[in-house]
Amino acid sequence: MKPWLPGRIGLLAAWLCLAPAAATAAAPPPANTGPMWTLRGLERLDGAPALAELNQQADRWVTEGFDQPDDVLKRLDDLQRGLAAAPPLAWERVVERTRGVVAARAGREALAQQSAGRLQQMGERDPVAVADAAMVRALLDDQLWRNDSATGHALEADSAYSKACAGDASRTATCDHRGWWQVIRMLALRADRQGNRLEAARLQHRANEMAAQADDHVLLSWGLSSQAVLSQLLDDNEKARRDMAQAERHARLDSTGRAMIRVLMNSAVLATVRNDRAGSRPALEEAVRLARAAGSPRTEALVLGSLSDEWLAAGKPREALAAVERALPVLRRFNDQRTLPVMLHNGGIARIRLGQIAQGKAELEAALALWEQAQARARIEVALNESADALALAGDPKSALEHFHRARSLREEIDRDNREAVLAQLKQRFRSEAGQRDLELAERENSLKKARLDNQTLMQRVWMLASVVLALAAGVLVVQVRRTRLANLQLRRSEALLKVQSERDPLTGLANRRHFREALAAQQAEGDGFKGGLLLLDVDHFKRVNDEHGHAAGDAVLVEVAKRLQACVRVGDVACRWGGEEFLVHTPAPSSEGVEALALRVLGEIGNKPFTLADGREVPVTMSVAYASFPLPPHGVTLPWEQAVNLVDMGLYSAKAMGRDRAVGLCGAEAHNADSLARAAADFERARTSGVLTVKVTPRVG
């Protein structure tokens, strides 16, 4: 997956989460779609035909409400006042559901929650209303970027629709298929965001079948084009081609053009996945034209967001900024909290590339503030890394390092929270297994006690019979001594195995952080301070490996990195997995030249030969390395091992800021005490440029 693709898919996902009929605007509604005309038309019909016509009209209102929510909400209020004193319950439900969907997509939380509450009350007499209420709440939470809550309400709606509609929702007026289709689509997007593309494809296929049964060309074209993207991501090129061709055929049957906009958006994503820029940009430009022709400025703004991503990826920041500036006023008018930070971030990156550093940094901070409100920590980390790269290329290494630091701190926070969550799950999951192990240990202890008692009994018998069968007693005694020695040996082996397991990283087999800390602390305790060489290594762009190939491939890359690292170190060196994709090596009392040679050997061993995954695909992997031999010349100031690691860590940040895939060596320090070195580490870049720290930078030789 290309580096800009997560942003493209994320922005498209925000657009795709819109209600089915509101994803783009159709042509302006005809004059005979007002509330009084609707009432007169329904009065001429009866039962299911009337309800089916009302559902069709509701779909048109949702479409119009995407760009003009105030007008449509007022029209719905007029319609509700015009209903008879006791209208059919299904009519009342459709009107309330429509109000809730329009309000939710406009971010009107109070009004949407009010409609959901009324639908919930109707659920005592109409079970479909319960599902509609959950669907409205899911759309509202999605619009306000409350992802976990949106998923919970979508699952609730799916279950309620399944119970109320008895598997025939797509063909009955009572169970209009559009709401149910929307929650299934939301669940498919959630599975895709989590990296479970097989589950996403299964859910999307289910939604497509529902649209096909309802003969809904708009939803079917949308769903098939989304299925094409998933098929391509699953490496099924032929199926992706067939799905997109079918989507285009169904889109041409929609006279409003709104279906074709969705297909063009997905065509652009499909071209991006295939690294076909020549196909992506024209599709987006055509989608912009259709949205403008349909009179939907909000849809046009959302498409422009994807177009700005494409311009940035093509190295054209001026065009990207123009697209952002056209879209931002519209998004601000609708207070689109999901898309606004993406556009601000794109605009900030474009301005930095154009040399407008101060304004670009301000827009980046505004985007980060919005993401922080939504607690989108993973997106913030990606944005900080992207902005750090842009700032480094723009000649602002200090700001680049600051963004790297913030991204690194956020990654540590995310990793810590993930570890705590995983530990909680493991405690719950393995509690029974731990109890079983305790029981087995107790049984072994009882067996040993019983063996000891048996030994004592046998010894007594031996002494009693010693005068008669001395030779036999001696033989029995030898057997019992051997048995006791064997039991003790087994206990010692178990203790040794447990000790080794507590000191090793379970994935890579290297020493873990705890063992490495103990080894460094013990080495330091033997002298006045820490001595020896340190190498700190970090896999470059490791997140891309997980995003493009899955977390199993990421684990395989870490295992292979550990193997190659072990092949480089010497007897007596200690290599450990320091955390995540970071590794740390300690080599006792080497020369500076020896540490540098080891660093360059590791750099070449990792980067000069691509990694081969289990399915045969090759993945290029590089590393950034920082190294030093302590105490640092010329003054030989001794440091605690923790400060030595921190100093090398600053060197690693510098290697990242300089473009990665290189080694940064700390060759000397004009510092006479540990406090001076600590101040140099606190502002590494200034210390390097001022000559307080002597640094050698060596890119990898391929």
Measured from the Cβ of residue 427, the count of other Cβ atoms closer than 10 Å reads 10
Helices vs strands, H then E, count in the chain: 29, 8
Dihedral sign (CA 176, 180, 182, 188): negative
Q: What distance in Å separates the CA atoms of residue 247 and residue 282, rounded to the nearest whole number?
A: 18
Contact of 459 with 480, CB cutoff 8 Å: yes
Contact of 518 with 584, CB cutoff 8 Å: no
Tokens matching residue 121 = 């009350």
Q: What distance in Å separates the CA atoms of residue 164 and residue 545, rounded to the nearest whole number?
A: 43
Please work out, in degrees rounded to the nearest 5, the angle formed at the alpha carbon of residue 245 by the alpha carbons of 239 and 251: 135
Cα torsion at 624, 628, 634, 638 (round to 10°)? 130
Catalytic residue among 386, 581, 582, 596: 581
SS3 content of the chain, % helix, strand, coil (to 5): 70, 5, 20
Q: What distance in Å separates the CA atoms of residue 104 and residue 202, rounded to the nearest whole number?
A: 27
Nearest in space to 24 (alpha carbons), one of 244, 310, 273, 219: 219
Amino acid code (one letter) for 271: A
Using omega within 30 degrees of 0 as the cis cutoff, is the peptide bond preceding 282 cis?
Answer: no
**Distance of alpha carbon 490 from the chain centroid:** 46
Q: What distance in Å separates the CA atoms of residue 616 and residue 632, rounded to the nearest whole number?
A: 45
Any catalytic annotation for residue 581?
yes
20 secondary structure, DSSP code: G
Contact of 606 with 621, CB cutoff 8 Å: yes
Q: How far lies 469's CA from each of 59, 440, 464, in Å?
A: 102, 39, 10
Q: What distance in Å separates the CA atoms of residue 531 and residue 521, rounded to the nearest whole number?
A: 11
589: alpha, beta or left, given left = phi > 0 and alpha = psi -120 to 50?
left
Q: What distance in Å separates the CA atoms of residue 113 and residue 138, rounded to the nearest whole number?
A: 11
Q: What distance in Å separates the CA atoms of residue 329 and residue 307, rounded to the nearest whole number?
A: 16
Nearest in space to 626 (alpha carbons), one of 654, 601, 605, 604: 654
Residues forming a β-bridge with 579: 582
Contact of 643 with 605, CB cutoff 8 Å: no
CA R_g for the chain: 33
**Distance of alpha carbon 312 from the chain centroid:** 22
Q: What distance in Å separates the CA atoms of residue 681 and residue 561, rounded to the nearest whole number?
A: 28
**Distance of alpha carbon 99 from the chain centroid:** 33
Question: Residue 276: in which H helix or E strand, if any?
Answer: none
**Distance of alpha carbon 347 from the chain centroid:** 23
Residues involved in catalysis: 581
